[in-house]
Amino acid sequence: MRAVLIVNPQATATTAGGRDVLAHALASEVKLDVVETDYRGHALAVARAAARDDLDLVVAHGGDGTVNEVVNGLLADTDGRPGRYRDVPMLGVVPGGSANVFARALGLPCDPVEATYQLLHAIENRRGRQVGLGLAGERWFTFNAGMGWDADVVAEVEQRRGKRTSPSLYLRTAVARYLRPPAGRPELTVQIPGEEPAPVRTAFVSNTDPWSYLGTRPVHLNTDCSFDTGLGLFALRSLALPTVLRHARQALRTRSRHRGKHLLRRDDLPLIGITAEEPVNLQVDGDLVGQRTRVEFRSVPRALTVAV
């Protein structure tokens, strides 16, 4: 089995010692190359080359941003067609970030040593899980994408790349961007096949649940959403403070099902369209993609096989 280990040395929980232990362990099972990323998009380029070279396994060691780049590289040549998972390498994940939402949703340990041990067992037993993913335009996402308030938060955090990211940083930034939205609050329009267009102020599109974490505490938006279903939509027609506080409380409850007159929530959707009156920020898996006036979100079943 041929494999490549892609390491983001800047990720929160990655260390040189941990990388060496991981590489040594993997090299005992596979023919391994190790690549450390040194610029944005590097992990995507390495994963795309691995897919084109017909490697068997690509392991991402870093945070959710690293995993997202690797996934986009692996699937770069599939054109978003479902059922193409047999044509790309298997994905392995060893968490090394601060949130590790994708890894946690798969049931992987957050501890890199424990995750390495589980990955080795999966390799030995040729064990993998086929997962559905989401497409936001041409950008794949593993757990969540969004337009509006949450994407503004991501944009602000990315401007502070010199700071160590943490739940408290995201929380402070979310409050600041709520009180002072960078471009006002342009209206979004959600379009679901078979339904009338609906105006909203912010929209989240989920591929699994939980959507994120505050430390160890999961944040739930679409509790019926999983890698085996379509996409979940969570959109608010109003960002008035009582509405925001109501749904923030509900999101932090265990397996909470949101309710409210300003909420637009759907589960298991194959397609969601969102348009904006003017360009707004778009984020996928916690990474800023840029500004868009229209995005089509699509569910792609069984898009990738993950070693678990």
* Interacting residues of 84 by C-beta distance below 8 A, sequence separation 6+: 75, 78, 303
More confident residue, 14 or 291: 291
In whole angstroms, how far apart are CA 167 and each of 14, 135, 139, 211?
18, 26, 25, 14
Q: By percentage, how much of the chain surpasses pLDDT 90?
A: 70
Structure tokens at 202: 């912010």
More confident residue, 42 or 18: 42
pLDDT exceeds cutoff 70 at 39? yes
Mean pLDDT of 142-150: 93
Side-chain-side CA neighbours of residue 111 (13 Å): 4
* Confidence class for position 212, pLDDT limits 50, 70, 90: confident
Structure tokens at 132: 């559905």
Look up the pTM and report it: 0.92
* Confidence class for position 163, pLDDT limits 50, 70, 90: very low
pLDDT, tens only, 42-90: 999 999 999 999 999 999 999 999 999 999 999 998 876 655 556 799 9
Structure tokens at 225: 């959403």
What residue ranges do the domains of the chain occupy?
A: 2-126, 144-301
Least confident of 20-24, 32-36, 294-298: 20-24
Query: Largest alpha-carbon pair distance within the chain?
Result: 57
pLDDT at 9: 92
pLDDT at 63: 92
Do the domains spanning 2-126 and 144-301 agree at the CATH topology level?
A: no
Structure tokens at 56: 């068997």
Query: What is the amino acid identity at position 10?
Result: Q
pLDDT exceeds cutoff 70 at 181? yes
Only one residue has tokens 């069984």, namely: 302
144-301: CATH, from 1.10.600.10, 2.10.109.10, 3.10.310.10, 2.60.200.40:
2.60.200.40
* Confidence class for position 123, pLDDT limits 50, 70, 90: very high
Q: According to DSSP H, which parts of 87-140 are helical?
A: 101-105, 112-124
Length of the chain: 308
Question: 249 and 255 in contact (C-beta within 8 Å)?
Answer: no
Find out if CATH 3.40.50.10330 is the number for domain 2-126.
yes
Structure tokens at 72: 């986009």
Mean pLDDT of 253-274: 90
